């Protein structure tokens, strides 16, 4: 089956609040234009399109259909949609190229998180019978998870603050980041709790945004970029929807996805982890065996900007960019979905040889 490579990535600026519609068109048009300029492709050349977005976020039915205006759909195109982060749209696009049916594809994701009250909207991804009727918000769920690890001695509030400091300082070199720069850990730890034991710095900000990636068969990838980021493994795994039945201090699904994607202890130069909360990065590093040598989230990661339904795809794009720019030879990207790291995708990329 055909090998597949990332050949271009573009994203909208990550912002707390944009004035646009919830259908993503205004954000996506300039993103697609960047991809066309980078690759020389036009909208007519793309074999397959796949989007990730959510009607719960946009508050309207079939919002992804409106987003198709950003592509231009005559003559008709081949497209699909997932009600999930764009990373899962990329997974579908990867499969489409794997089968040999097409040799180019664009996966994109978009979300206007600011249109509603995000942490409340996310309560609706919980078990609808016994949990969602109580409306526990996403930050509270993360707080419960964080304390389990704190009480077990698996991490400390300082470990968590260190993740925030590193992320937001690294974001200073990312022109698209929403939050850049950070106080030092001592100062952060002096701040009040937001959802005890979480402080504001432990939580990803609420972000509007969009991102898109061009995939091509390895055969054609060199037409579009000098150093394609070859996808050597990609897999996703999910855990039970029974929150109490899971061990929330570890991530067996991330570990299983990593193993299936070829994470075997060999060295990575860089890893982009989709951890919307500081302690979740610590869980993922442990589950994926990423030790101190690996550069984690040099883009600043989700703690510097986390556009819903584009945040995971952005991790793949940022990791691929490190390969395409020559900074990295081997990179890991991770995307998550669901409460408390329920569903995890791992994508391993290498510089094409």
Partner 1 sequence: MVTVPQSASAPLSAPIELSFDYTRSLGPTLSAFMTGLAERRILGARASDGRVFVPPAEFDPVTAQPLSDLVDIADEGSVVSWTWVGETLPGQPFDRPFAWAFIKLDGADTPLLHAVDVPTADAMTTGMRVRARWTDSPAGNINDIACFVPADGAAPATAAPAERVDPVEMITTPVQLSVQHSASMEETHYLQALEQGKLVGQRCPVCEKVYIPPRSACPTDGVPPGEYVELPDRGVVTTFCIVNVPFLGQRIKPPYVAAYVLLDGADIPFLHLILGCEASEVRMGMRVEAAWRPREEWGPTLQNIEYFRPTGEPDADYDSYKEHL
- The residue ranges that bind partner 1 (CB under 8 A) are 19-22, 25-26, 29, 32, 43, 56, 58-60, 68-74, 114-117, 119-121, 123-124, 127-137, 140, 143-148, 151, 193-198, 240, 242-245
Strand order in the sheet with 229-238: 79-82, 48-52, 104-112, 208-217, 4-11, 229-238, 343-351, 330-337, 270-272, 295-296
In contact, 217 and 94? CB cutoff 8 Å: no
Q: How far apart are CA 145 and CA 103, in angstroms?
A: 42
**How far is CA 332 from its chain centroid?**
12
Q: How far apart are CA 44 and CA 313, in angstroms?
A: 23
Tell me the closest approach of the beta carbon of residue 241 to partner 1, in angstroms: 9
260 burial class (0-12, 13-18, 19+ CB within 10 angstroms)?
middle
Of 98, 108, 10, residue with least CA distance to 50: 108
Which residues are within 8 A (CB) of 69 and not within 5 positions of it... i.e. 6 or more apart?
Answer: 23, 25
Q: How far apart are CA 122 and CA 240, in angstroms?
A: 17
Angle between helix 138-151 and helix 278-287 axes, rounded to 10 deg: 60
62 burial class (0-12, 13-18, 19+ CB within 10 angstroms)?
exposed
DSSP 8-state symbol, 193: P
Note if the bond before 104 is cis, omega within 30 degrees: no
* 334: its two tokens: 């991770």
Radius of gyration of the chain (CA): 19
- Helix, strand or coil, per DSSP, at residue 150: helix
- Helix, strand or coil, per DSSP, at residue 123: helix
Of 104, 102, 23, residue with least CA distance to 57: 23
């Amino acid at each position: 089956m055909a090998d597949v490579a990332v050949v271009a990535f573009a994203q909208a600026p990550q912002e707390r609040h944009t004035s646009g519609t919830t259908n993503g068109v205004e954000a996506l048009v300039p993103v697609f234009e960047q991809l066309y300029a980078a690759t020389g492709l036009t909208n007519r050349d793309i074999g397959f399109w796949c989007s990730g977005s959510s009607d719960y976020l946009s508050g309207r039915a079939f919002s992804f259909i409106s987003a198709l205006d950003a592509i231009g759909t005559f003559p008709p195109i081949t497209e699909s949609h997932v009600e999930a982060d764009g990373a899962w749209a990329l997974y579908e696009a990867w499969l489409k190229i794997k089968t040999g049916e097409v040799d180019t594809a664009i996966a994109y994701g978009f979300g206007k998180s600011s249109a509603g009250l995000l942490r409340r909207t996310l309560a609706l991804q919980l078990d609808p019978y016994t949990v969602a009727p109580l409306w526990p918000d996403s930050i509270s769920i993360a707080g419960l998870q964080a304390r389990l690890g704190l009480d077990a001695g698996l991490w400390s509030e300082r470990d968590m603050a260190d993740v925030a400091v590193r992320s937001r300082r690294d974001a200073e070199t990312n022109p698209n980041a929403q939050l850049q720069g950070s106080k030092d850990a001592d100062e952060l730890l002096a701040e009040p709790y937001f959802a005890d034991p979480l402080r504001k710095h432990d939580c990803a900000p609420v972000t509007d945004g969009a991102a898109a990636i061009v995939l091509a068969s390895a055969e054609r990838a060199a037409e579009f970029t000098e150093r394609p980021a070859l996808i050597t493994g990609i897999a996703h795994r999910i855990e039970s929807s029974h929150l109490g039945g899971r061990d929330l201090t570890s991530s067996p699904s991330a570990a299983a996805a990593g193993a299936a994607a070829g994470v075997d202890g060999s060295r990575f130069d860089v890893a982009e982890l989709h951890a919307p909360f500081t302690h979740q990065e610590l869980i993922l590093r442990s589950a994926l065996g990423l030790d101190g040598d690996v550069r984690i989230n040099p883009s600043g990661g989700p703690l510097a900007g986390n556009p819903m339904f584009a945040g995971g795809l952005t991790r793949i794009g940022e990791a691929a960019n490190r390969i395409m720019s020559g900074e990295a030879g081997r990179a890991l990207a991770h995307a998550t979905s669901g409460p408390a790291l329920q569903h995890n995708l791992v994508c391993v990329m290498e510089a094409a040889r």
